[in-house]
Amino acid sequence: MMNTTDTNSKVKVRVPATSANLGAGFDVFGLALDCLYDEVYMELTTGKSIEILGVEGYDVPEEPSENCAAVAASKVFEMKGYAHGAKMWMRKCIRPKSGLGSSAASSVGGALAASKLLGGLSYEDILLCAGEGERVSSMSAHLDNVAPALLGGFTIIRSYSPLDIVRLEAFSSMGIVVVLPEVEVSTKEARAILPESAPVKDVVRNAGNASAFVAGFIREDIALMGRAMVDAIFEKAREPLMPWLSDIRKVAIGAGASGLSLSGSGPSVIALFDKREHRGKEISKAITEAFLENGIDSEGFICSVGRGAMEISEGAVI
Ligand code: HSE
């Protein structure tokens, strides 16, 4: 068993927003974004439990058993056989229930900070601990947001035994517009309405789209990636929660986007564009105007594929 003097006793980490699914890659694809970040500060204590001393920004539960970061950190403590406690502060800039990986950012922040304080775990173990944080918010330990939040880039999760995590590096012409509407959709709610089974033709369409998206990424073919951002099963099942989606897609493509999908379980949308041919500004403007026509305010972000979670100025209190 370790004690608090074995390693550094405080750390601060920064974790990016992420977008999962990207069309047909349900629970498989994830992309780190370079526009929004959360921070987690953690200090080991000689106490017996994890305490949350403050959350700045968006509201999240401060009761440790309901807080994704604290749950993920406690899984790391368990794995490392650490029997003491920690105190934590969080800065939440990624809105919960936005589809931008807010719970994943908290979970990765908690797991990575705890791992750094206790001498390190493998990336795979950090991801599994962060997955337990995700379970608190959505009842499911899916890793499609936590993988890019931790590793950066574009990630593909094969979540069966053995777990495979494939990470692909971004390419420079890939532009991203993310638009966050002023409506909330919880992942729990958006998963509860998913079908138990799907027609073979939709499964075939999704397999083609997911494969083409990856091929497009490898070939740096944004037009192919955009055409492939279509999910005939899960996104379709969620449309009653977000009936504006097909309007928004049409408008985005009309303004120069190669394709658009829900970001994760929504309500954010993510559009891809080729930076050599278009500017994100027009696409973002067209999407926010289309939301407004549907009676919804929204905020657009123009971004690129981001780096993964990292330690920042160790020891500083937020
Ligand atoms: N793949 C997940 C879903 C992402 O669509 O439910 C949300 O966390």
Structural domain includes residue 264:
yes
Q: How many domains does the chain have?
A: 2
Q: Which of 119, 152, 168 is the last residue of a domain?
A: 168
Tokens 């749950």 found at: 71
Residue 7: the pLDDT is 55
**Kind plus residue range of the DSSP H or E element containing 213:** helix 200-219
Q: Any idea what the CATH number is for the domain that residue 27 is in?
A: 3.30.230.10
CA distance 67 to 218: 37
| 18 and 162 part of one domain | yes
| 139 and 184 part of one domain | no
Residue 314: the pLDDT is 55
Q: What is the 3-state secondary structure (H, E, C) of 82-115?
A: CCCEEEEEEEECCCCCCCCCHHHHHHHHHHHHHH
CA distance 180 to 270: 9
Q: Ligand 1 atom 6: the closest Cα is on which residue?
A: 265
Residue type, position 236, single letter? K
Structural domain includes residue 9:
yes
Q: Which of 119, 147, 168 is the last residue of a domain?
A: 168
**pLDDT tens per residue, range 105-151:** 999 999 999 999 998 889 999 999 999 999 988 777 889 999 999 99
Residue 160: the pLDDT is 77
**Ligand 1 pocket, 187 CB below 6 A?**
yes
Q: Any idea what the CATH number is for the domain that residue 203 is in?
A: 3.30.70.890
Q: Which of 134, 168, 202 is the last residue of a domain?
A: 168
CA distance 222 to 6: 48
Structural domain includes residue 158:
yes
Structural domain includes residue 140:
yes
Contact (CB, 8 A) for 21 and 34: no
| 143 and 235 part of one domain | no
Tell me the Cα Rg of the chain.
19
Residue 205 Cα to ligand 1 middle (Å): 19
For 193, other C-beta atoms within 10 Å of its C-beta total 13
**pLDDT tens per residue, range 175-221:** 999 999 999 888 888 999 999 999 999 999 999 999 999 999 999 99
CA distance 256 to 66: 42
Q: Ligand 1 atom 4: the closest Cα is on which residue?
A: 264
| 25 and 151 part of one domain | yes
Residue 266 Cα to ligand 1 middle (Å): 8
Residue 292 belongs to domain spanning: 174-303
Nearest to 278 by CA among 264, 259, 263, 299: 259
Structural domain includes residue 275:
yes
Residue 21 Cα to ligand 1 middle (Å): 7
Residue 230: the pLDDT is 96
Q: Ligand 1 atom 3: the closest Cα is on which residue?
A: 265
Residue ranges of the chain with per-residue pLDDT less than 50: 1-6, 315-318
Structural domain includes residue 308:
no
Enzyme catalytic residues? 134, 187
86: left (phi over 0), alpha (psi -120 to 50) or beta: beta
Decide: helix, strand or coil at residue 6.
Answer: coil
**Ligand 1 pocket, 107 CB below 6 A?**
no
Residue 137: the pLDDT is 81
Residue 315: the pLDDT is 47
| 183 and 290 part of one domain | yes
Residue 1 Cα to ligand 1 middle (Å): 36
Q: What is the pTM of this model?
A: 0.93
